[in-house]
Amino acid sequence: MLRRTYLKLMSTLVVGALVPFSAAFADMPATVDGPVTISFYNYNLASASAGADATKELLAAFKQKFPNITVETIAVPSNEIMSRVQADIVAGQQPDVAQLVFRDLIYIASDLGANALEDMVSPQELKDHLSGMIPQGLELGKVDGKTYGLAYTFSTPILYYNADLFRQAGLDPDSPPKTWDDVKKAGDAIKQKTGKNGFFPGAYGPADGTFVYQAIVMSNGGKVRQGNTLTFADGDAADAVKMLRDMVDSGAHARIDVASPADTMASGNLGMFLYTSALYASLKKSAAGKFDLRVAAMPSFGDKPTAPTNSGSALFVFSKDPVKQRASYELLKFLTSKEAYTIITSKIGYLPLRLDIVDDPKYLGEWVKQNPMIRPNLEQLNRLTPNIAFPGPNYRQAENMMMDSVRQAVFGSGDPIATLKTAEQAAQDLMP
């Protein structure tokens, strides 16, 4: 199906700059025997966080291992990198490798001509490399049974909390909130007894994507779409948003700039923050000597098991030249190796997708002993639920309409479910 879609697009003017499809899967050589240069579009490098330093360290180690391969990096912020890749392809500047988020997976596979690894790499070589990686993570990058995105930097939502604010509010920091009712009680207490902000999820800002929002919705049994029918205003999905609105109305959920909760948490002025573990290293550094930062699993709706979704990114190969494909695949293999995940987890905070390194003293063993707060994030992998990407050429517009309505439902004054329903009906017209 994807191949037909791609060939159809190849006949259009928009993607006319792409190289012929037949060249995409020519035989890839087994090794890189001469100098070759590949491009790597990366959003960690565009950040001011630990992600940039760790990525530079990874690329330096790759260069030592593969001196024939030069990686030219293109650093683009995460909320702009998809547009940059798309624009460069249209301009005839074919990317070789790109770090892109899962929400764009269907579009990348069907419209941008990313290579399926199964079409580029021999079955045995691919099997050898993927052996030991978390199957739930590998499934996230598949479309129609083929791997277009290889899971790379990866996390589930975790609850950061300020243990000092818990104590000041008369709460037990050794017993963090387990349910949303617990979060509301703790948020109310922090607000009333300390004057600080109680709770805020990283679910509404321009760079947050939808993974925290979808994790909350799916933990209540809802989904944002079923097939091509949008369902984010229906039943359990809408009730999850209403729960957030009720916390805003009570004061347990802060009213702060949707782009600033990480800064508010880092300054010690937010009691609880639900977000990716990718911020762990930065928040730990900010909290050092100032407040007691701790981490817990994401809260549940009563006895319902949580359904944590994935944040982070996958690596996509766009190379059409066989030698560049080999060089690109070597980069993918290195960046998802045991050595790389030791750096990614210990220096950034993302999950290691190879769990056999967690307690291995050669890799993460000593670090995990000193940083046991990674454990709640690892445990949540058992209930990992894929973040749902939207299909069709208007997928971003439909998704934006959904998130605009969620912000309005949570922070507005009107009926939250009616707000979601109006947006759902309008966005449905954009679905294929």
The three-state DSSP-derived secondary structure of 46-61 is: HCCCHHHHHHHHHHHH
> Helix 180-194 to helix 235-250 angle, to the nearest 10 degrees?
20
The pLDDT > 70 percentage for the chain reads 94
Of 1-10, 25-34, 148-157, 387-396, minimum mean pLDDT range: 1-10
pLDDT (average), residues 147-159: 92
| pLDDT band at 140; cut points 50, 70, 90 | confident
The verdict on 241 and 262 lying in the same domain is: yes
Q: Which residues pair with 295 in a beta bridge?
A: 160
The verdict on 145 and 188 lying in the same domain is: no
Q: Is residue 15 part of a domain?
A: no
For residue 18, the model assigns a pLDDT of 40
For residue 185, the model assigns a pLDDT of 98
Mean residue pLDDT of the chain comes to 90
Q: What is the rounded distance in angstroms from the CA atom of residue 4 to the CA atom of residue 136?
A: 28
The verdict on 397 and 324 lying in the same domain is: no
Q: What's the pTM? A: 0.80
Contacts 24+ apart (CB under 8 A), 233-242: 233/405, 233/417, 233/420, 233/421, 233/423, 233/424, 234/424, 238/416, 238/417, 238/420, 238/421, 240/216, 240/301, 241/217, 241/406, 241/409, 241/410, 241/416, 241/417, 241/420, 242/409, 242/416, 242/417
Q: Is residue 8 part of a domain?
A: no
Look up residue 391 and give its amino acid: P
pLDDT (average), residues 350-371: 93
Q: Is residue 425 part of a domain?
A: yes
- For residues 280 and 221, the model is more confident at 221
The verdict on 216 and 333 lying in the same domain is: no
Q: What is the rounded distance in angstroms from the CA atom of residue 142 to the CA atom of residue 332?
A: 16
Q: Is residue 410 part of a domain?
A: yes
- pLDDT, one tens digit per residue, over 235-257 is 999 999 999 999 999 999 999 99
Starting at the earlier edge strand, list the strands of the sheet with 157-162: 197-201, 270-276, 157-162, 293-297
- pLDDT, one tens digit per residue, over 313-347 is 999 999 999 999 999 999 999 999 999 999 999 98
The verdict on 277 and 414 lying in the same domain is: yes
Number of domains present in the structure of the chain: 2
Is the Cβ–Cβ distance between 410 and 248 less than 8 Å? Answer: yes
pLDDT (average), residues 141-148: 93
For residue 212, the model assigns a pLDDT of 96
Domain that holds residue 112: 36-155+311-383
* 141: pLDDT strictly greater than 80: yes
| pLDDT band at 234; cut points 50, 70, 90 | very high
Could you count the other beta carbons within 10 Å of the beta carbon of residue 113?
23
DSSP 34: S
- pLDDT, one tens digit per residue, over 21-79 is 334 445 899 999 999 999 999 998 987 677 889 999 999 999 999 999 999 999 998 88
Domain final residue pick, 383, 402, 420 = 383
For residue 372, the model assigns a pLDDT of 84
- Give the pairing of strands 69-75 and 36-42: parallel
Look up residue 100 and give its amino acid: L
Is the Cβ–Cβ distance between 100 and 40 less than 8 Å? Answer: no
The verdict on 374 and 300 lying in the same domain is: no
For residue 189, the model assigns a pLDDT of 98
The verdict on 141 and 288 lying in the same domain is: no
Q: Is residue 151 part of a domain?
A: yes
**Which H or E run contains 395?**
helix 395-411
Is the Cβ–Cβ distance between 180 and 159 less than 8 Å? Answer: no
The verdict on 211 and 186 lying in the same domain is: yes
For residue 288, the model assigns a pLDDT of 95
Q: Is the dihedral of CA 174, 179, 185, 188 positive or negative?
A: positive
* 19: pLDDT strictly greater than 60: no
Phi, psi of 189, deg, nearest 5: -65, -45
Q: Which residues pair with 300 in a beta bridge?
A: 179
The verdict on 343 and 411 lying in the same domain is: no
Q: What is the rounded distance in angstroms from the CA atom of residue 430 to the CA atom of residue 391?
A: 10
Per-residue tokens: 430? 């954009």
Q: Is residue 88 part of a domain?
A: yes
For residue 26, the model assigns a pLDDT of 55
The verdict on 274 and 332 lying in the same domain is: no
Q: Is residue 31 part of a domain?
A: no
The verdict on 275 and 323 lying in the same domain is: no
Sole residue written with tokens 């782009």? 259
Q: Is residue 268 part of a domain?
A: yes
| pLDDT band at 350; cut points 50, 70, 90 | confident
Is the Cβ–Cβ distance between 281 and 121 less than 8 Å? Answer: no
The verdict on 62 and 105 lying in the same domain is: yes
Q: What is the CATH number of the domain that holds 341?
A: 3.40.190.10
One-character DSSP codes across 211-269: HHHHHHHHHTT--SEETTEE-TTSHHHHHHHHHHHHHHHHTSB----TT-HHHHHHTT-
